[in-house]
Structure 1
Amino acid sequence: MPTPPSRPPQPITVSIVSHGQLALVRPLLEQLDRFSAGSIDKVVLTLNIPEPDVLAGLPWQFPVERIENAAAMGFGANHNQAFRRCDSEWFLVLNPDMRFDDDVLAPLAAQAAPDAGLLTPRILEPGKAQPEQHRAIITPLEILTRKRPGYAIPAVPAWVPGLFMLFRSRAYREVGGFDERFFMYGEDFDICARTQLAGWKLQVAEDLLARHEAQRASHASRRHLYWHVTSLLKVWGSGAFWRFRKAVRGGDQASVL
């Protein structure tokens, strides 16, 4: 039997981490396969904890490389580990509970400005008619006021959450990936700040939409709430936070954001 032709390289490596969530990963892979297979070089699927394999025998148009951790690792450490398997131009950090109704990957990469180091579509949360608002720099006051009337929504976000982060691989490599001192939460703001401080732009595609089937663990679990609070303290104690805040407040917003 002749060997099937090899698949030409595609521009995006996708990193997905499952924390016992393969039932959520399956529909995500199905949607990526249906809408975006032509843009995906491979999916690196990390099983952070042992779980039943509900994906066994399922075919995809792209390779799915598995990593099965011997011990659970944090958000950033898992994606940094996956990035070591990335040989493509773009590296996509994607939550298992993201959902798509059309191809977002190809048009998003096609929109990238030459100095864009991190891209994202707009994110629609469950039960919402409009996408999530753009986010300002995290401070205690910003957290307390972001949902109150009169909150000044920034025209350009200072950061984007780690649900969907399409990194130019060169930018991810330059900043050293995620800071692994953050186990979970806070690492998304930190890498957004460091990427922009390194001279790369954060670019949002206002015309593209992805859906988040939110898993609000920090609202239901004391452990996740603890990680959330301690991560915020790490953010506010980091040099990147203060350099980024100074750059934005010091009138250098155009070059940083």
Structure 2
Amino acid sequence: MSVTKTVTVSIVSHGHGDMIPLLLQDLAQHGATAIHRVVVTLNIPEPTLLRWITSSSWPFFVRVLQNDRAQGFAANHNQSFAECDTEYFCVMNPDIHLIGNPFPALIERLQDGRVGCAYPMQTDGRGPAKDLAREVPSPRGLFRRYVPWGKSQEAPKHWINGSFMLFPSVVFKAIGGFDERYYMYCEDVDLCLRMRAQGWQIAVATKAIVRHSPRRASHRHWQHFWWHLQSLWMLWHTPHYRAVISKPVRSVWR
């Protein structure tokens, strides 16, 4: 199956000038055959990073967007999607590191017409790769996740974190992209639940493995913690969240 130059990758830098060069080099080394375009959004001014990107040579097109004011995760990736003219659209965090080329395995999963999003296995570099799909963050689900004795039963899989998601572009457009009312946190949960509500499945590609080293800012900064709480409150009042809570369904996961 050919995957030549069929992917647009969206990366957003929130002052990640130390990570973006490493990721771009990873993409050039491992993903150049699959990637047609990389859209890098500078959410805040980063002149040193901008000069480095524009003065370097890449095996794919690189488009740099510079925001006049900071935007949230959802708005930034939706803005990048406007630059997408390929069959597939990939949302990727700056703290992702490629171990090999994940795109052939991911695109293979998307050949099933029922699958609207494919994602890779993830490792933190200290253990084996895992499928990090999670239960929807309901009060009960959060209890099971963070309280040791709450993990006695297997939790259902409702969503995958937005650190690495690959969509057919037609699907991302059909579901309206990310909901920009979420400034930060839960926009990936919301998108997964809306996909489920529209009949799309989410599939893990077990042969695709990436390393992810998240900073987990909501664990350290009150501003991020507050954004997280606001996003949870908004999510809990959506019809697609209530549908999952009232009748959990596992069969939409592949």
Name the stretch that deviates more: 131-140 or 91-100.
131-140
SS at match of 2:48: coil
Maintained 8 Å contact 2:102/2:207? no
> Counterpart of 2:8?
13
1:125 partnered with 2:124: yes
**Does the C-alpha gap of structure 1 residues 151 and 170 become closer, same or farther in structure 2, counting only changes over 3 Å?**
farther
Partner SS state of residue 46, structure 2? coil
- 1:114: Cα distance to partner? 1.8
Cα deviation, residue 176, structure 1: 0.4
Distance, in Å, in 2 between the alignment partners of 1:206 and 1:106 is 12
| Secondary structure of 2:207 counterpart | strand
The whole-number CA distance in structure 1 between the counterparts of 2:213 and 2:56 is 23
- Give the structure 2 partner of residue 5 of structure 1: none
73 and 133 in structure 1: CA distance in 2 versus 1, 3 angstrom threshold? closer
**In the alignment, what sits opposite 1:169?**
169
| Pair 1:204-2:201 in alignment | no
CA contact (8 A) 2:120 2:210 kept: yes
| Separation in structure 1 between the aligned mates of residue 238 and residue 40 of structure 2, nearest angstrom | 30
**Change in CA separation of 1:247 and 1:136 when aligned onto 2, cut-off 3 Å:** same
| Alpha-carbon shift at residue 106 of structure 1 (Å) | 2.1
Is there any run of 5+ residues in structure 1 with no aligned partner, and where? 1-7
User: Is the CA contact 1:121–1:209 (under 8 Å) kept in the aligned structure 2?
Assistant: yes
**In structure 2, which of residues 11, 19, 38 is the aligned counterpart of residue 24 of structure 1?**
19
The corresponding residue for 1:224 is: 224
Partner of 2:121: helix, strand, or coil?
A: strand
Distance 1:247 1:169 in 2: 29
Mean Cα deviation higher: 94-103 or 204-213: 204-213
Provide the aligned C-alpha RMSD in A. Answer: 2.0
- In structure 2, the partner of 1:4 is none
Q: Which amino acid aligns with 1:117?
A: G
Contact 2:97/2:212 (8 A) holds in 1 = yes
Unaligned stretches of 5+ residues in structure 2: none
Which residue, 93, 96, 99 being the options, matches 1:98? 96
The one-character-per-residue Cα deviations of 1:66-114 (angstroms, maximum 9, x if unpaired) are 1100000010000001101111111100000000111111221123222
* 1:29-60 CA distance string (max 9 Å, x none): 10110011010110011000001323241111
Match in the other structure for 1:47? 42
Output one character per residue of 1:122-141: Cα deviation in whole Å (capped at 9) or x when no partner: 11135344525431122112
The answer on 1:191 being equivalent to 2:186 is no
Tell me the equivalent position of 1:86.
84
CA distance in 2, matches of 1:161, 1:255: 17
Q: From the superposition, tell whether residues 246 and 88 of structure 1 become closer, same or farther in structure 2 (CA, over 3 Å).
A: farther
Q: Tell whether the 8 Å contact from 1:18 to 1:47 is kept in structure 2 after alignment.
A: yes
